[in-house]
Structure 1
Amino acid sequence: MRVVGLNVHPVKSTAIRPVASAAVERAGFAGDRRWMVVDQQGTLVSARECHALFRIEADTPETDASVPGGLRLRAPGVEDLLVGNAAGAEVAVRLQRHHLVGGLVSAEADEWIRHAAGRSDVRLVRCVDPTARALNPAFSREGDHTAYADGYPVTLASLRSLARLNDWIAEGAVERGEELPEPLPIERFRPNVVIDGDLEAFVEDTWGTVRLGEVTFRVAKPVDRCVMTTIDVESLTTGKEPVRTLARHRRWDGATWFAIQLIPDGTGVVNVGDDVKPA
C-alpha cells in the first residue's frame, strides 16, 4: 500500500490543492483549513450552501512555492489577491457545534470573498490558535487539537473503497433501469490522504493506527458524510450520489460513512509514494 495523493485546503470548502509532500503538525497538514468563510454572525459558510466556494483557489507556500507568504486567492472573473498571515481583531466564530475564535483578515479580503462567492454577507477569518480547539474526548487524547477541519486533523480515503462504492452505484443504476453514471472521483470526499495498493475495500475501518512515511497517526473514527459529497465541483450541480448508495450499504448510527479520520501522534513529513503501514 502506498500514498498516491495528498491534498491541502487552505480555506475551508474551497478548491482542493494537491501537493507532492505535506508537513504534518499536531493540528493536521501545515496550512490545511486555517482560514474559513463566515457570515456576519460568525457562522461557517461552506460549499454546502455556497457552491461558488469550490471555484476559489486558495494557495499558501505549502501548496504553491511561488506564493511568497500568506494566502493567494484566485477565482474566475476576479483579480488575484495576496493577503498576509497577520490576523486582525478577534471575533467569535462557529463551526458546527464548536464556538471558536477567528482573526479578521482585511476589508479587502472580505470584499474579494464577497465578489467571488456571490454573497454580500460573508467575510474571511483566520485561525489564530489551532491548539485552542480540543477534539471529541471519546475519540482522542488530551492535547489533540485541530484548526477548522470538520472533526479531526486529517482524512484518509482508499481508492479500493471508492471502486467498491462506484460498483454499488452502477449496480443501483442497473436495478432502476437508468443509464450507467460516470464513476465518482475521490475528490468528492476531499481527503487529505489518498491510498491505493493491495488492500480490501473498507479495510481501513478496522485500523487502530497507521504510519504514513515518517508519521504515525491514530485512527479516530470513520467520516460521516453529508450532502456536500453530492455536489459536482465542475458543474456545481447537486445529485443523489454518493449519499443514496452509502445509505444503502454504509449506514449505521444514523449516518453514512466513507473514509477515516486521523490524529497525528507527532510531526514530520508525508510524501506521495510513501508506504502505508496500518496496525
Structure 2
Amino acid sequence: MNTFFLSELHIYPIKSLGGISLKKAQLEEKGLQYDRRWMLVDEEGMFITQRKYFELALLAVNINDGRLIISHKTNTSQSISFDLQEDNGIHIPVVIWNDAAVGIEVNSEVSNWFSDFLKFSVKLVKMPVSEKRMVDPKYASNNEVVSFADGYPCLLIGQSSLDGLNEKLESPIKMDRFRPNFVFTGGEPHIEDRFETFYIGETLFSVAKPCARCVLITIDQQTGEKGQEPLRTLAGYRTIDKKIMFGQNLLHQEAGIISVGDELKVVTWKM
C-alpha cells in the first residue's frame, strides 16, 4: 500500500520567472494564491516566456510585506518591487497561447525595468480578479478557470519521477526545470499517471491531462543556459501521442489550505 505525502509547494507569481517555495498556501478558484497572476507581454499583448527568452530564468521573485520583489540571481543590484495590489487600472487585451484575456499594467516604472532587462518594450500586467479565463472545455469538468498559467490551475509531479529521470542523465537536474506546484513522495516513477481523483489534505483534485513538455525544461534555472537535456532523454521513454509528458495537470472545485506534509490520498485510479 503506497503512502504519499506533499513534500514541496511552489508558486510562480510572474509567469516564466523564478518560483517561491512555501510551507503553506491558499488554494483559490484560479489556482494557488498569487500563482501566475502577473505576466510579461510585448507591445501586441502577446505573452513572453523563457521558451524564447532564456534570461528570464535569472530573475528571482519573492513576496515580503505585501510587496512583490524581483531581483537578478547573480547581479543583486538589479531589483525592483511593487505593492501586490498595485495596477494602473487600464484593462488591455493580452494573449496566452490561443486564449484572449485581459490584463492591467502594474505601472510604467516596472514595465520599463523589464524592458531594459530584455532590451525590447514589454509591460508587466496583472490578471484582474474579475477575469474569467476558462480551462479548455475538452478537459474541464465544471467550467473551471485558470490564471496566466499555460492551461490548468495546478501541476503535480512525483519526486520518484524526477529521481527516475536523473538515474538516466549524466548530470542530475533539479525539479525547478518542471515548474510544479505540488511535489509528493512515495510510489514508483510516474505513479501520478494513474491518479484520477485524490485529496491533498481536505481538498479534492482531479487529473485533467498529462503535462506536455517543451524546450523550457532544457534551461538551467540557476544559470539561464540552455542544453539538450532532459528533453532528449525523456523523448526516449515518455513520448505519448508525439508529445513528451512529465507531470499531471490538475483541476479542483473548492478553495482550501494546502500544506507541505499533507497526505495525498488517492480516491480513484485510472484503469
TM over 0.5: yes
TM alignment of 1:54-73, pairs within 5 A: 54-60=57-63, 67-73=64-70
Match of 2:71 among 56, 74, 79: 74
**Shift of residue 253, structure 1, vs aligned partner:** 1.5
Runs (4 or more) in structure 1 with deviation over 6 Å come to none
Show structure 1 runs of 5+ residues with no match: 61-66, 170-180
Shifted more, 7-16 versus 84-93: the winner is: 84-93
Q: Is the 8 A contact 2:7 2:185 kept in 1?
A: yes
- Give, as a single letter, the amino acid of the residue that structure 2 aligns with 1:80: I
SS in 1 for 2:168: helix
Q: Deviations over 1:248-268 (max 9, x none)?
A: 101122210000011122111
Deviations 1:83-115 (A, max 9, x none): 442432111111111111111111111112123
Structure 2 residue matching 1:48: 3-state secondary structure: coil
CA contact (8 A) 1:130 1:147 kept: no
Distance 1:247 1:79, change over 3 A: closer
For residue 64 of structure 1, what is the aligned residue in structure 2? none
Between the aligned partners of 1:259 and 1:130, the Cα distance in structure 2 is 29
Which residue is 1:196 aligned to?
185
| Corresponding residue of 2:171 | 182
Give 1 or 2: higher helix fraction: 1
Report percent identity of matched pairs: 32
Answer yes or no: is 1:221 the counterpart of 2:218: no
1:268 aligns with 2:269: no
Partner of residue 154, structure 2: 154
Instruction: Please give the alpha-carbon distance, in whole angstroms, between the structure 1 residues aligned to 2:57 and 2:130.
Output: 24
Structure-1 separation of matches of 2:243 and 2:98:
17
How far apart are 1:74 and its partner, in Å? 2.2
- Residue type of the alignment partner of 2:36: R
* Residue matched to 1:132: 132
Aligned length: 260
Amino acid corresponding to residue 33 of structure 1 in structure 2:
R
| CA deviations over 1:47-104 (Å, ceiling 9, x no partner) | 11112212222233xxxxxx23242222233243224424321111111111111111
CA distance in 1, matches of 2:94, 2:80: 26
Distance 1:130 1:166 in 2: 42
Match for residue 234 of structure 1 among 201, 218, 222:
222
1:57-136, aligned counterparts within 5 Å?
A: 57-60=60-63, 67-75=64-72, 76=75, 77-87=77-87, 88-115=89-116, 117-129=117-129, 131-136=131-136
RMSD: 1.5
The DSSP-based 3-state class of the residue aligned with 1:246 is helix
Cα separation, 2, equivalents of 1:126 and 1:72:
15
Letter in 1 for 2:226: T
CA contact (8 A) 1:211 1:277 kept: yes
Provide the secondary structure at the position in 2 that maps to 1:132. Answer: coil
In structure 1, the residue matched to 2:197 is: 209
1:40 is displaced (CA, Å) by 0.7
What is the distance in 2 between the residues matched to 1:146 and 1:224? 17
Displacement after TM superposition at 1:122 (Å): 1.2
**Structure 2: where are the runs of 5+ without partners?**
none
On the 8 A contact 2:17/2:61 being kept in 1, the answer is yes
Provide, for residues 9-66 of structure 1, a one-character-per-residue CA deviation record: whole Å limited to 9, x for no partner: 1101111110111110121000000000111111111011112212222233xxxxxx
Are 1:10 and 2:8 counterparts? no
CA shift for structure 1 position 130: 6.3
| More displaced stretch, 152-161 vs 46-55 | 46-55
Q: Report the secondary structure of 1:57's partner residue.
A: strand
Distance 1:79 1:28 in 2: 27
Quick one: structure 1 residues 139 and 55, their matched pair in 2 at CA, closer, same or farther if it must change by over 3 Å?
Answer: same
Match of 2:47 in 1: 44
Structure 2: how far apart are the matches of 1:274 and 1:139? 26
TM-score using structure 2 length: 0.91
Match of 2:167 in 1: 167
User: Per-residue deviation at 1:239?
Assistant: 1.0
After TM superposition, the score normalised by the length of structure 1 is 0.89
Q: Secondary structure at the match of 2:249?
A: strand
Cα distance between partner residues in 2 of 1:129 and 1:79: 26
